[in-house]
């Protein structure tokens, strides 16, 4: 067995925006703390052409993102010459294994090139098996990538089963998405609600957080609001995040269902200070997704000791201890989603929920994920030796 495991990690990192970037930052920090691991990062300078952002920034600040590993952000997903330079650097830097983050079929050619040009075993850190945007799934390229891969790390049983079903002979390891540790700096729920202008206290405060895309089902949640208001007259829904669909479409939907007094929209990038405000203001975070693998929003909610109400999509339910850390509901129709939310609050015990979330956090730490990753990577390298 290797005394020192030398890992090349090809992934987005802050200030590139998105959940994959934040995840990679925290995993890199945890791997850096592992004994017997030498980690070098090969981050992306940009993922997509500026044209696709339609005026939105492709970068965002992440407080605490100050890991000072060697390496410079030179990769650009749509510039193959940058792939060649990165592969050349990895080959000359003397690594044992390459880890490539994967969430879209667009990453498949890059992973194949890394395997061919570096001559090293390539392990895919698979956030999604199938892309949320179906046009970006690119199954033929993904098949080529997995035939070249030395192994796969997955973050949910749902994705692990998908990989095992299509590639039963491929070495794989099911791990998990850890909880993001949050520091609300003494902010109380009451103070957070005042910041948002929420004065009524005769109903729950719900939060929808993150990028707004069709597959996340926000439209179903908005249509469920009149059903909820009939039981909880003071119910409030806070929508905080960047819209990848026209925001006016959702404003019109809120108005057309008569939910204007129950919905507060905070469109656009949510700065770190306001992230704490919206989570601390909430009684529960709602994820009515149509499709999902796993979600970092669940882990953010747990970081603030907030329960989650999730749909049965994909692997979301794997992160929920039903009735304790949250609830798994049918979100296929607005009435069914509303009924699930009403049932949850009918039996919700705030303190029991917090105890369950704390126990979950202990079992799903970044240190445990990093240890599991390092063990698997050693197995892959030892098999090649």
For residue 183, is it within any domain? no
Contact between 222 and 252 (Cβ < 8 Å): no
For residue 184, is it within any domain? no
For residue 251, is it within any domain? yes
Region 184-213 average pLDDT: 90
Residues 6 or more apart in contact with residue 52 via CB below 8 angstroms: none
Looking at the structure, tell me whether residues 173 and 223 fall in a common domain: no
pLDDT at 70: 47
CATH of residue 110: 3.40.50.2000
Looking at the structure, tell me whether residues 258 and 343 fall in a common domain: yes
Helix/strand/coil for 98: strand
Contact between 251 and 265 (Cβ < 8 Å): yes
For residue 295, is it within any domain? yes
Give me the domain span that covers residue 145.
5-178+365-384
Looking at the structure, tell me whether residues 75 and 215 fall in a common domain: no
Sheet holding 326-329, edge to edge: 263-267, 236-241, 205-209, 284-287, 308-311, 326-329
Contact between 6 and 96 (Cβ < 8 Å): yes
Looking at the structure, tell me whether residues 253 and 119 fall in a common domain: no
Looking at the structure, tell me whether residues 170 and 198 fall in a common domain: no
Q: Which of 22-36, 41-55, 164-178, 256-270 has the lowest mean pLDDT?
A: 41-55
Q: Per the structure, how many domains does the chain have?
A: 2
Mind listing the pLDDT tens digit for each residue in 161-188? Answer: 999 999 999 999 999 999 998 867 688 9
Interatomic CA distance for residues 106 and 383, integer angstroms: 29
pTM: 0.90
Looking at the structure, tell me whether residues 155 and 247 fall in a common domain: no
Looking at the structure, tell me whether residues 293 and 351 fall in a common domain: yes
């Amino acid at each position: 067995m290797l005394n020192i495991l030398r890992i090349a990690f090809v992934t987005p990192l802050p200030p590139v925006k998105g959940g994959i970037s934040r995840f990679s930052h925290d995993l890199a920090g945890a791997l850096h703390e592992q004994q017997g691991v030498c980690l070098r990062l090969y981050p992306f300078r940009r993922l997509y052409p500026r044209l696709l952002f339609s005026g939105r920034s492709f970068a965002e600040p992440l407080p605490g993102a100050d890991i000072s590993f060697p390496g410079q952000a030179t990769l650009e997903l749509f510039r193959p010459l940058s792939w060649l330079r990165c592969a050349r650097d990895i080959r000359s830097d003397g690594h044992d294994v390459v880890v490539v983050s994967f969430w879209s079929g667009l990453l498949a050619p890059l992973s194949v090139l890394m395997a061919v040009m570096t001559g090293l075993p390539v392990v895919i850190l698979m956030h999604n098996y199938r892309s949320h945007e179906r046009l970006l799934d690119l199954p033929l390229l993904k098949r080529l990538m997995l035939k070249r891969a030395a192994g796969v790390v997955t973050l949910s049983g749902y994705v692990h089963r998908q990989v095992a079903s299509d590639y039963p002979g491929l070495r794989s390891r099911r791990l998990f998405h850890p909880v993001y540790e949050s520091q609300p700096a003494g902010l109380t729920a009451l103070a957070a609600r005042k910041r948002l202008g929420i004065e009524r206290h005769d109903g729950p405060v719900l939060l929808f957080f993150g990028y707004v895309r069709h597959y996340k089902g926000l439209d179903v949640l908005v249509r469920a609001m009149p059903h909820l208001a009939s039981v909880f007259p003071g119910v409030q829904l806070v929508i905080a995040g960047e819209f990848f669909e026209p925001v006016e479409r959702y404003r019109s939907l809120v108005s057309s269902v008569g939910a204007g007094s129950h919905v507060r929209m905070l469109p656009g990038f949510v700065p770190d200070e306001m992230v704490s405000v919206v989570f601390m203001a909430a009684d529960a975070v709602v994820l009515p997704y149509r499709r999902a693998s796993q979600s970092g929003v669940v882990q953010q909610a747990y970081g603030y000791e907030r329960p989650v109400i999730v749909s049965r999509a994909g692997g979301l339910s794997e992160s929920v201890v039903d009735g304790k850390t949250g609830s798994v509901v049918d979100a296929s129709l607005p009435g069914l989603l509303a009924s699930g939310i009403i049932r949850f609050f009918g039996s919700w015990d705030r303190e029991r929920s917090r105890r369950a979330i704390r126990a979950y956090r202990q079992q799903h730490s970044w240190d445990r994920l990093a240890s599991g990753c390092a063990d698997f990577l050693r197995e892959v390298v030892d098999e090649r030796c």
